[in-house]
Amino acid sequence: MKWSSKITKVEPNHLVTKGYRQEDLIGNIPYPHVVYLLLKGELPSKEHGKMMDAILTACIDHGVTPPSSMASRVVASGGVPLPTAVAAGVLSIGDAHGGAIEKGAKFLQEGIARMKEEGKSIDEIAKILVTESRKQKKRILGFGHRVHTADPRTKKLFSLADELKISGDCIALSKAIEKELVGQTGKTLPINVDGAIAAISSDMGFDWRLGKGFFLLGRVAGLTAQVYEEQTEQKPMRKMFDVDCDYDGPDERDIP
């Protein structure tokens, strides 16, 4: 049974991660750059490092209501260790919660590949993609938010991407889709924070399969804070909700 791994070489008193001795990384390379190193294999340029830092911070927390916070707090309330409760929040990161980064990035990356293959412009491929998605009644992920119409995180991330000269085809396609959606539907579906990270991480050259990873790497900070607050400020098994739940199953009956 032979394993191989490109991540860390472990020897007594010697830890080498992606080629770098851990004692050299600690305190010398900012943690978000180390995250980049782990996910991409190389340390980032100054610009990419700063962008990665910004992406992590953009994911930290969205209050108590998202499935991840709620799952973490509810599980904490059962009286379990902190990591168990944080992990419960991480479990909720799925296709519908944070998942737009993964699927959005795939969509953009494939869109750009197709654009090049078919010799189209950004605007042309945006029009084609929106038209096709509407015909197939498929939602394009990364647009629209259940709370925000102008998400301050999105705006900030895009302005940083411009400033750091990271903005490329995927961000351009993302913005062209946003415009095309208004044109074709009359409704404004602004790029949300997931969509922004999908576009930016794609222009940074990341594999779309890491999409949910970016979200969870930032969000664990908020989840740890949520669990810590629940554990230190609240009683276990406190009554958390007034869920008004109608039972609409079979009428009461005797067993046969």
Which of the stretches 121-129, 150-158, 172-180, 197-205 binds a copy of itself when contact is defined by CB under 8 A?
Answer: 150-158
Binding mask 202-231 for a copy of itself (x = CB under 8 A): -----x-xx-xx--xxx-xxx-xxx-xx-x
* Residues in 102-141 that interact with a copy of itself by CB under 8 A: none
Residues 80-109 that bind a copy of itself (CB under 8 A): 80-88, 90-99
As a whole number of angstroms, the distance between CA 109 and CA 113 comes to: 6
- Furthest-apart CA pair in the chain: how many Å? 72
Which residues have a Cβ under 8 Å from the Cβ of 135 and sit 6 or more positions away?
Answer: none
Sole binder of a copy of itself in the list 124, 132, 139, 152 (CB under 8 A): 152
Q: Which of residues 30-59 bind a copy of itself (CB under 8 A)?
A: 30-32, 34-35, 38-39, 41, 43, 50, 53-54, 56-58
Q: Which residues of 20-55 are buried (b: 16+ CB within 10 A; e: fewer)?
A: eeeeebeeebeebbbbbbebbeebbeeebbbbbbbb
The binder of a copy of itself chosen from 135, 137, 150, 165 (CB under 8 A): 150
Least Å distance, CB 126 to a copy of itself, is 25
In whole angstroms, the minimum distance from the beta carbon of 105 to a copy of itself comes to: 13
AA identity, residue 128? I
Give the DSSP H or E segment for 11: strand 8-11
CA angle 48, 49, 55 (to 5 degrees): 85
Q: Is 67 exposed, middle or buried (0-12, 13-18, 19+ CB in 10 A)?
A: middle
Tokens of 243: 């869920």
Nearer Cβ to a copy of itself (56/122): 56
Among 120, 134, 156, 175, binds a copy of itself (CB under 8 A): 156
Distance CA 228, CA 222 (A): 10
168 binds a copy of itself (CB under 8 A): no
Q: Interacting stretch for a copy of itself, rule CB under 8 A, among 10-18, 108-116, 165-173, 174-182? A: 10-18
